[in-house]
Amino acid sequence: MIKLTDVTKKYGTKRALEDVNLTLSKGKLIGLVGENGSGKSTTLKLIAGLNHPTCGDITVNGEKVTRKIASSVSYLSELDEYYRFFTVKDAIEFQASQFVDFDIEKAYEIMKFMKLEPQQKLKHLSKGNRSRVKIVLTLGRNAPVVLMDEPFSGLDPMVRNSIVKGLISFVDLDKQLVLITTHEIREVENILDEIVAIRDGYIIAHHNVDDIRKENKQSIVDWMTEIYA
């Protein structure tokens, strides 16, 4: 589904990713974890076709990634930037006009679930509610690949919980692959299928989370502490 082959990414002389090989399969909720600056966001941007690898190949569904991959990848940025003159409804309708796989009914359902009102202007929303809008716009698409960059960062537990619930309720794992970056693993450890750990641009582990619990009799947090030690 997503395949990175010998991918290296440099920004100027700074190396962000080094020789990454990664295959992620369909129907999984996968966590990409690591410290700040370890290369998580870069990985997501490369898969979204918004950044370009210095060398190596990236494919999504067998298709070589360019910026046009946006038609099968729904990407949520960690940045809190949206067209602030839009209302929630405007934002949903705009997203629907730009992506053929956008399911308006589902989007309104997520909107209600997130307790947002269609007439609210984005510029009047709290940070937590703006994040909820981003979730509505990202999960409203029936895209085969959903990429979410730090969807929980800087949000209070209530919002984080509603996002986790939203993920479980509205992602269709029969058809979609979800890749989430986070450094708050506790938030998502119960909903992940797989975990990919990254450090200084290297992938250092890729496992099924229940296998880690079963084989190591360890919690994911303990396991991570161990591999990062």
Binding site for another protein (CB under 8 A): 11-12, 27-29, 45, 48, 50-52, 66-68, 70-71, 75, 77, 79, 81-83, 85, 93-94, 97-99, 161, 164-165, 168-169, 173, 186-187, 189-193, 210-211, 213-214, 217-222
The nearest distance, CB 28 to another protein, in angstroms, is: 7
The nearest distance, CB 144 to another protein, in angstroms, is: 14
The single-letter code of the amino acid at 164 is: V
Q: How many angstroms separate the CA atoms of 180 and 43, rounded?
A: 11
The nearest distance, CB 211 to another protein, in angstroms, is: 8
Reported as half-sphere exposure (CB side, CA atoms, 13 A), residue 178 has a value of 26
What b/e sequence results for 63-93 when a residue is b if at least 16 CB atoms lie within 10 Å of its CB, and e otherwise? eebeeebbebbbbbbbeeebeeebbbbebbb
The nearest distance, CB 60 to another protein, in angstroms, is: 13
Nearer to another protein, 117 or 210 (CB): 210
The nearest distance, CB 81 to another protein, in angstroms, is: 4
Nearer to another protein, 34 or 49 (CB): 49
Q: How many angstroms separate the CA atoms of 218 and 124, rounded?
A: 44
Reported as half-sphere exposure (CB side, CA atoms, 13 A), residue 154 has a value of 12
Nearer to another protein, 11 or 204 (CB): 11
Nearer to another protein, 109 or 193 (CB): 193
Residue that is written with structure tokens 């947002």 in the block: 116
Nearer to another protein, 37 or 83 (CB): 83
Q: How many angstroms separate the CA atoms of 143 and 211, rounded?
A: 28
- Cα-Cα end-to-end distance for the chain: 31
